[in-house]
Amino acid sequence: MTVPISAYLMLSVGLLVLGMLGVIRRRNPLLLLLSIELMLNAGNVALIGFSRQWNDPSGQIFALVVMVVAAAEVVIGLGLTVAVFRSRMNLDVDEMSSMKG
Amino acid sequence: MAEQVTFAIAAIGALGFGIGVVFFRDAFRAAVSLIGTLLAVALLFIVLEAPFVAALQVIVYAGAIVVMFLFVIAYLGDRPIVPGTDRMDAVQPVAWIALAGVAAFGAITVLASAIGPEHSVSDTNVGSPASIGHAFLNQHIIAFEVTSLIMLIAAVGAVILAKRAVMLEGGR
């Protein structure tokens, strides 16, 4: 008796909604990035679940690519956060409204 | 039976630590909570017969990415949020409606769709490094190359961002 894939998908929906909740209510860009990581992980859970459902490694390949994209996104996001902090000394996404350097 | 128990533990862990990520006031605690979520998800990957992805999840995510988060949090310190004017106040209800919509849509879709026959024959080789390497280099070679290009661009971008930030402060 195995766990049906719908259970994994429901967990994935739950994690995605949690991440969205974080993106809506957080104002610190660092915590915003953490919530985005949560959402990417929700996608990974669904992908790996599908991969087992159909005995196909493609889902795992997608999950690995998502992990690489997450790593790249964190590098750039944290770089931007540090750069903005150094020039503004304030961390609030609502204040980062101008694109001037 | 063992799979169900492991799934229950990992799911509760993932959601519980996820709530911590969203609701902890302290940035450091939120980042450590994310480690818990990532480890619980890695446990799920092991249950789903994907040991290679589970290992990479622990090494790359819980190891490298979260450590970088912790570095930046320690570097910037804990900034008190200045209660300023929220420009997005007007669209806040729209965001909540969108959130409820995604939750309802996801739940209804999962519950209403009959996905394939139940997983019966388990080919444990699908999650092995050899199988993933074959799939990467035989079927997904473009994704592989694009992935390496993305990492190169991200590394160059990070260096340029850091250099600009240092130059703004008058350094070299």
Nearest partner of A11 among B34, B49, B8, B47, judged by Cα: B8
Domain count, chain B: 2
Q: Which residue of B has its CA nearest to A71?
A: B65
Per-residue tokens: B29: 């605690």
For chain A, which residues make up each domain, given as ranges?
Answer: 5-95
Q: Which residue of B has its CA nearest to A96?
A: B87
Q: Look at residue B95 and tell me if it is in a domain.
A: no
**Taking CB atoms and an 8 Å cutoff, what residues of chain A touch B125?**
none
The partner residue sitting opposite A45, judged by closest CB among B44, B65, B155, is: B44
* pLDDT tens readout for residues B115-146: 766 565 566 678 888 989 999 899 999 999 99
Amino acid (one-letter) located at B58: V
The partner residue sitting opposite B119, judged by closest CB among A25, A52, A80, is: A52
Amino acid (one-letter) located at B41: V
The partner residue sitting opposite A13, judged by closest CB among B88, B106, B131, is: B106
Mark whether B7 and B69 lie in a shared domain.
yes
User: Residue B117: enclosing H or E segment and its boundaries?
Assistant: none
Mark whether B75 and B148 lie in a shared domain.
no
* pLDDT tens readout for residues B84-100: 566 667 788 888 898 99
* pLDDT of res. A55: 84
Domain span at residue B167 reads 129-172
**Taking CB atoms and an 8 Å cutoff, what residues of chain B touch A11?**
11, 14-15, 44
Is A39 within 8 Å of chain B by CB?
Answer: no
* pLDDT tens readout for residues A63-77: 999 999 999 999 999
Mark whether B74 and B1 lie in a shared domain.
yes
A28/B79 touch (CB, cutoff 8 Å), yes or no: yes
Domain boundary among B79, B98, B115: B79
Q: How confident is the model at residue B83 (pLDDT cuts 50, 70, 90)?
A: low
**Taking CB atoms and an 8 Å cutoff, what residues of chain B touch A41?**
37-38, 41, 61
- Domain A5-95 fold: Helix Hairpins (1.10.287)
Q: Look at residue B134 and tell me if it is in a domain.
A: yes
Mark whether B71 and B137 lie in a shared domain.
no
B27/A31 touch (CB, cutoff 8 Å), yes or no: yes
Summary mean pLDDT of chain A:
84
* pLDDT of res. A101: 47
Nearest partner of A73 among B79, B11, B146, B155, judged by Cα: B155
Mark whether B68 and B141 lie in a shared domain.
no
Mark whether B3 and B74 lie in a shared domain.
yes
Nearest partner of A83 among B104, B60, B157, B27, judged by Cα: B157
Cα gap B116→A53, rounded to integer Å: 8
